[in-house]
Amino acid sequence: MENFVVSSRKYRPATFDAVVGQSHITETLKNSLRNNHLAHAFLFCGPRGVGKTTNARILAKVINCQNLGENIEPCNVCDSCKSFDSGSSFNIFELDAASNNSVEDIRGLVEQVRYPPQGVKYKVYIIDEVHMLSTAAFNAFLKTLEEPPSYAIFILATTERHKILPTILSRCQIFNFNRIKVEDCVAYLKEICLKEGVQADDEALHVIAQKSDGAMRDALTIFDQLVSYAGNHITYKSVAENLNILDYEYYFKIAAACMGQNVPQCLVMFDEILDKGFDGHLFINGLSEHLRNLLVCRDTETIKLLEVADSIASLYAQQSKEASTTFLLNALNICNQSDIQYKTSRNQRLLVELMLIKLCHINTLVDIKKNFELNPASVQNATDIPAKEPVAAYNFKQPIVSPTVSLGGRSAIDKIKQKIIDSKNQVEAEQPQAEIKIEVITQLMLDNVLADFKLQLDTKNKKMLHTVLDTFQFSLGENNYININIPGSHNISMIEECKPDLSQMFFDKYMIRPQFNIIAIASDDTKQYFFTNKDKFKKLAEDSPYLLDVAKRLDLRFD
């Protein structure tokens, strides 16, 4: 049996023109070579499988090519190109920093830099996964990277640029690789299908490209897997079966059932989906993507965001005409909330079924809302409104009528009734009413405010201030003045702190703001209200003389 070579290796680009989806980088490198403006250090950044190492190898091969033409591509016939292809080149070194990340490994590389190239102009060092180097290894490499010999060129590659020291970044030309677009990936897969004699549907190739998430290497790996599964004819059905993908047809049918308010059909189809082994969370995400695709189809400017085959795109365009923007926005909001709640839900199936029920009743609720806004008087008795579906039986916890309207935890009918009551109250509030004014503060009013104020102090953990207020004497004066007798002038700051809150509380309760007259009573005219620790001990010692002996033995002091 012959050794099988995976497509990601077999069809690895050998020239700049063969690189997929990175023209901004390949053109820059070719111009640098053409104009002889080649830097001594490059840093290739980007996600996995987009061509970082491939471009590094092509650049290393082109740099030493002895027959470089105007197209700046390797000739593949000179000794340098042949030695590179056979893996026997002494002038191109490739280091995997994931497994060679110590200071000793970098010191060994730096030692090699001292020796000039043999038979060519440059020595090229490719360091893959460079972010895996330790800090000490980076520091050991720093000086050589900053001032290398004229014949040394370093090409670093990484998927995590943020882990590289800023001192390393500042010494490199940085190239950011993009994810491969779906259309570019599909075009490249079609070329491979022609070379391999494989027939593949456009829908199948689009699914492969989407599952690869912008990584060409992943797309080729999936392609090999499907060739092994389906043979030389890859269909959309075989891709869906092998990759465990829910068919587009289910989403189109469920979306149509939701727009038609067909709850039983939605629930039966969801049960069929579960029977096939698909996860409820996967279904929520797939339905969300389907609704998103319908939404972008409604505008000519956003239709380019639809990354599906042309045959599927026509189905999206057709169904998007049947769905209103309001329906799609509310449906996306419901699916998003279900996606958030799915992992924490104890009954996940019920959560998805409730989501489908809400989706089916979006149009009903929107019609009720429009009817109310156009003719509020027609729904004064909301309980008499006939409904085709028992909308009030469902508890809508998400805002599904419009992005700015929330139905809370009550039914739609209750919300309409509440809105009518609120509107009536608002009209009554706008009518001119006789101003209620209290001119004289009574003792009962003063007692009520003081009681409420002290209670407020307790809730705010200000019990000490409450105790101090109990020592003050509040009495009524003339012209709504309140006299406050306080023991000693040192307590004035406390009552000054309370005055604004007391005044506001009077205003909130009786619509009047009193004036305060503070009277400080001399300390010799009143009893002592506060006792120090020493005073308390003397008082206790008068009743229990043995405490003096205890304090003396224990050498207790009360300052």
- Whether residue 100 sits in one domain with residue 229: no
What whole-number distance in Å separates Cα of residue 54 and Cα of residue 59? 9
Give the residue-averaged pLDDT of 159-183: 89
229 within 8 A of 240, measured Cβ to Cβ: no
- Whether residue 283 sits in one domain with residue 233: no
Instruction: Tell me whether residue 434 is in a domain.
Output: no
Name the pLDDT band for 352 (thresholds 50, 70, 90).
very high
Name the pLDDT band for 368 (thresholds 50, 70, 90).
low
What CATH number did the domain enclosing 278 receive?
1.20.272.10
Q: Tokens in use for 355? A: 């989501």
Structural domain count, the chain: 5
- Whether residue 120 sits in one domain with residue 66: yes
What CATH number did the domain enclosing 476 receive?
3.30.300.180
307 within 8 A of 210, measured Cβ to Cβ: yes
What CATH number did the domain enclosing 62 receive?
3.40.50.300
The answer to whether residue 102 scores a pLDDT higher than 60 is yes
Q: Which of 252, 367, 256 is nearest to 322 (CA)?
A: 256
Find the domain containing 102 and state its range. 7-176
The answer to whether residue 280 scores a pLDDT higher than 50 is yes
Give the residue-averaged pLDDT of 481-503: 77
376 within 8 A of 369, measured Cβ to Cβ: no
The answer to whether residue 65 scores a pLDDT higher than 50 is yes
Range scoring the smallest mean pLDDT among 378-382, 410-414, 541-545: 378-382
Instruction: Tell me whether residue 269 is in a domain.
Output: yes
Q: Residue 44's beta-bridge partner residues?
A: 157, 175
- Whether residue 298 sits in one domain with residue 254: yes
Name the pLDDT band for 238 (thresholds 50, 70, 90).
confident
Backbone dihedral region for residue 62 (phi beyond 0: left; psi -120 to 50: alpha; all else: beta): alpha
Give the amino acid at 344: T
Range scoring the smallest mean pLDDT among 175-179, 397-401, 470-474, 495-499: 397-401
Name the pLDDT band for 331 (thresholds 50, 70, 90).
very high
Please report the pLDDT score of residue 469 as a whole number. Answer: 76
Q: Tokens in use for 245? A: 């993908």
Beta strands in 196-321 (DSSP E): 199-200, 233-234
Instruction: Tell me whether residue 381 is in a domain.
Output: yes
pTM for the model = 0.58
Which residue has better confidence, 364 or 23?
23
pLDDT in tens, 70-97: 788 888 888 888 888 888 888 888 888 8
- Whether residue 344 sits in one domain with residue 317: yes
- Whether residue 169 sits in one domain with residue 102: yes
| % pLDDT > 90, the chain | 15
C-alpha dist (Å) from residue 142 to 14, 135, 169, 228, 396:
31, 10, 10, 47, 61
Instruction: Tell me whether residue 538 is in a domain.
Output: no
Name the average pLDDT for the chain.
80
The answer to whether residue 38 scores a pLDDT higher than 50 is yes
